[in-house]
A = this chain, B = another copy of it.
């Protein structure tokens, strides 16, 4: 399933000693570990344990823990940004466009909740130093633009697009990041990441955001 028989990869199909596969495995395991503990708290031993290779491979492919972290961050961030950038919002009226963005954003977040955790750790532990300033804007600008357009057109209230974009993000991702705390508000055993709960959050959040901006 990893490679189709027609592709002519430099290495063989039958796994074992496949550099790309190993690198991918390391990135996957690292993403989980960084989401659990952040750059500071992540244990390279723990990452290696979820790989089929030894810890030394981390240093063979990625110079050190920090470089590995950067690679994880870039890969996950690119995935999230592209989820929004592939939307065609050109002719769409602001309210409809914003709803679309919020819904597909939340869809991506629920499928890859790791990144949201990593980004929080990034802010709190690393003071955001692993961001190239360009990156964060990539995520917020589309939202700011829709809001600005909505105000111009008279569909949205007179808000500050930047503050609003940040607050919208908060309303969207808090549910996922703080889920282990707020789960205590529901019946014991409720899984906040279950399809039904996520679906309810998406509708509640999207409605809340749209209502919060409409005139």
State the interface size on chain A (CB cutoff 8 A): 60
Cβ of A209 within 8 Å of any chain B Cβ, yes or no, is: yes
Q: Assess the A124–B121 pair: CB atoms within 8 A.
A: yes
Please classify the interface of chain A as helix (H, G, I), strand (E, B), loop, or mixed, using the class held by over half of its residues.
helix
Check A37–B36 contact: CB distance below 8 A.
no
By a CB distance below 8 angstroms, the chain B residues around A124 are: 35-36, 38, 117, 120-121, 177, 180
Q: In whole angstroms, what is the CA distance A201 to B211 when docked? A: 18
Decide yes or no: A181 and B131 within 8 Å by CB, A41-B38, A159-B207, A175-B166 being known contacts.
yes
A60 at the interface (CB under 8 A from B): no
Copies of this chain present in the complex amount to 2
9-residue interface stretch from A13-21, A62-70, A92-100, A132-140? A132-140
A40 interfacial by beta-carbon distance below 8 Å: yes
A171 within 8 A of B: yes
Residue A82 CB within 8 A of the other chain = no
Q: A204 touching B160 by the CB < 8 A rule?
A: yes
> What residues on B are CB-neighbors of A157 within 8 Å?
207, 211
